[in-house]
Amino acid sequence: MTADLDEPIPGPGWSPNTADGETGPMPEADGPTDAAADAVGADDAVAADAAGADPAAMDYAAIVVAGGRSSRLGTGADKTRLQVEGVPLLDRVLTAVADAKHRVVVGKPRPVAVPVRWAREEPTGGGPAAAVVAGLELVAAPIVVLLAGDLPRLAGATVRRLLDATTAGAGADPFDGAILVDSGGRRQHLTCAVDTAALRRAARSRPTWHDAAMHELLADLRLRPVPVQGRETDDIDTAGDFSALQEGS
C-alpha cells in the first residue's frame, strides 16, 4: 500500500502549507472559527476542544477515513461534505483531534478547516482497513487515533478518553490501545486509539488489505474497552440518518 501527499483542491482561503507537508486553509484569525464550535449535541464541548487544546498533552496522530462511496446515502454526494449547522461532517471530526501532532485524511483531497496530510489507498475503494494502512505510512507519532469521517457527535472529550485508556496501566500487562464499545458489546472499530508500532505489525501481517474489514486489521491487538457515552458514535449511513440528525432526534 502506498500513500501520497496530494495538492489541496483550490477554494476560498485555501493555501498549501509546505513547511510540514500538510495542506490546509489560510488562517484568517487566531484560534478556531466560530463555525467549528457547532458540533451537534456537543456544541460547547467541541468549541472548548478547539480553543483549549494542549498540543503537548499527548503525542498522537489521527487517521480519518473519508474515502467511501457513500452509496447507502442514495444521493451520489460525498457524505463527509454534508453540513450540519453550517459545518461539514469531516470538519467536525477534525475538530475533535485539533491537538493531534498531525492529521491524515484518507480520501480525495477537498477543502478542510485545519491542516491535514492526504493519503489514498491503492487501488482506491479498498475499504476502511486498506485506507487505514495507507494512512499509516504518513504517521509519525507513537499513538494513532482511528476515526470515521462521518461522526457528527464526536468531540475531543471522546478522543481524550481513548488516549487516557491507551496509556493507563502501561506496566506489566499493557494494552495495545483502546476502543469504544457500545452497550451491546459491539466494538466501534473506527473510534479507537492504537499503539502505532503494534498497528504497523498488524498491517504487515498481510500483503494486501484491499476489501478487508477493520475488525480483521485489529483482531490480534489487545484493545481496552471504553464504554460509549451518549451518542458519540452515531454516524451517517443513509438519508434517514442525516434527516434524523437535522431534526435533532
Give the global pTM: 0.75
Q: Which residues contact 200 (CB under 8 A, 6 or more apart)?
A: 136
Report yes or no on 4 lying in a domain: no
In a domain, 8, yes or no: no
* Rounded Cα–Cα distance for residues 171 and 6 (Å): 40
Question: Does residue 155 form part of some domain?
Answer: yes
Cell of residue 61, nine digits: 496522530
Q: What's the rounded Cα separation, in Å, for the pair 4 and 62?
A: 16
Residue 3 domain flag: no
Q: Report the domain count for the chain.
A: 1
- Which range marks the domain in which residue 38 is found? 14-246
Cβ neighbours for 155, distance < 8 A, ≥ 6 positions apart: 39, 42, 45, 46, 49, 96, 232
Q: What is the pLDDT at residue 238?
A: 55
Q: What is the pLDDT of residue 214?
A: 97
Q: For residue 221, tell me if it sits in a domain.
A: yes
**Residues of the chain scoring pLDDT < 50:** 1-20, 25-56, 70-71, 74
Which pLDDT score, from 0 to 100, does residue 206 have?
96
Whether residue 222 is contained in a domain is answered as yes
**Confidence (pLDDT) at 76:** 56
Percent of the chain with pLDDT over 90: 56
CATH number of the domain at 69, please.
Answer: 3.90.550.10
In-domain check, residue 7: no
Residue 248: the pLDDT is 61
What pLDDT does 32 receive?
33
Q: How far apart are CA 119 and CA 142, in angstroms?
A: 19
220 vs 81: CA distance, rounded Å: 34
pLDDT, tens digit, 9 for 90 and up, residues 67-125: 865 445 545 567 788 877 788 899 999 999 999 999 999 999 999 999 999 999 999 98
